[in-house]
Amino acid sequence: KIAACLFDLDGVLVDTARYHFLAWKKLADELGIDFTLEHNELLKGVSRMDSLDIILNIGNLQLSQEKKNALADQKNQVYLEYILQMNEEEILPGVKDFLTALRKLGVGVALGSASKNAPLILERLKIGNLFDAVIDGTKVSKAKPDPEVFLKGAEALAAKPAACIVFEDAIAGIEAARNAGMMAVGVGDPQTLSRANLVISGFRGLTPEHLFQQINEHTT
């Protein structure tokens, strides 16, 4: 019996990767670093400061912590400009129906995201009311693949880890789910997310019943 479903935000419920990219790209350009879409793949699921470190590494730049804090803030200001222009239309197809169906079944729904902007994004998408718990980047001290974010989500819903399903688009997120002792559903490319129990391309047309049945077949 599935007690709870835990969702990553960026890349699972909404496609914010392109906004993160545009904001990082602007910063990288200013620093004279050649930052590409390919590089951007490395930043999925990675915290803001770790992302900056990866970019500085690409450019062979070493900066003081103070300077790095300022650059991370600068990037976030640009990112926020994009986020503030988002609306409900940017929720990925099928997500809202899937979350609503879970709630009808009495399955707990939580967010487990590394983003400190998660509450703002949920507000912009007008789906905050569909979550029983929101664990975001301000509530965790250890980044994925550490299981902290998902264990906190399960705890908030009083659900046992083994009865939880995590939905993730990043390799580190799938690992975090496994490290938490939860089932992992990858959202995206089966090859990249090969460590997941099951991989889906998205939520369009997907019902919880069908998903639960599929995951049962893949885990038993």
**Residue numbers of the site for ligand BG6 (CB under 6 A)?**
9-10, 20, 43-48, 51, 76, 113-117, 137
Which two three-digit tokens encode residue 14? 């909404």
Q: Which residues contact 116 (CB under 8 A, 6 or more apart)?
A: 48, 136, 137, 138
Q: Check 10, 34, 53, 97 and give the catalytic one.
A: 10
Q: Is 48 annotated as a binding residue?
A: yes
Q: Judged by CB, which is closer to ligand BG6: 52, or 154?
A: 52
Q: Judged by CB, which is closer to Mg ion: 3, or 17?
A: 17
Which two three-digit tokens encode residue 77? 């200001």
Q: Is 117 annotated as a binding residue?
A: yes
Q: Which of residues 158-217 bind Mg ion (CB under 5 A)?
A: 169-170
Kindly state whether residue 8 participates in binding Mg ion, applying the rule CB under 5 A: yes
Q: Judged by CB, which is closer to ligand BG6: 2, or 5?
A: 5
* C-alpha 135, offset from chain centre: 11
Q: Judged by CB, which is closer to ligand BG6: 150, or 208?
A: 150
CB 179, min distance to ligand BG6, A: 17
- Residue in 10, 136, 148, 175 binding Mg ion, rule: CB under 5 A: 10
> Whole-angstrom Cα distance, residue 67 to residue 64?
5
β-partners of residue 167 are: 7, 185
CB 114, min distance to Mg ion, A: 8
CB 50, min distance to ligand BG6, A: 8
> Whole-angstrom Cα distance, residue 201 to residue 194?
13
Task: Report the DSSP pairing between strands 198-200 and 183-187.
Answer: parallel
* Maximal CA-CA distance, the chain: 53
Token pair 């939860």 is at which residue?
182
Catalytic residue numbers read 8, 10
Name the site residues for Mg ion (rule: CB under 5 A).
8, 10-11, 45, 169-170
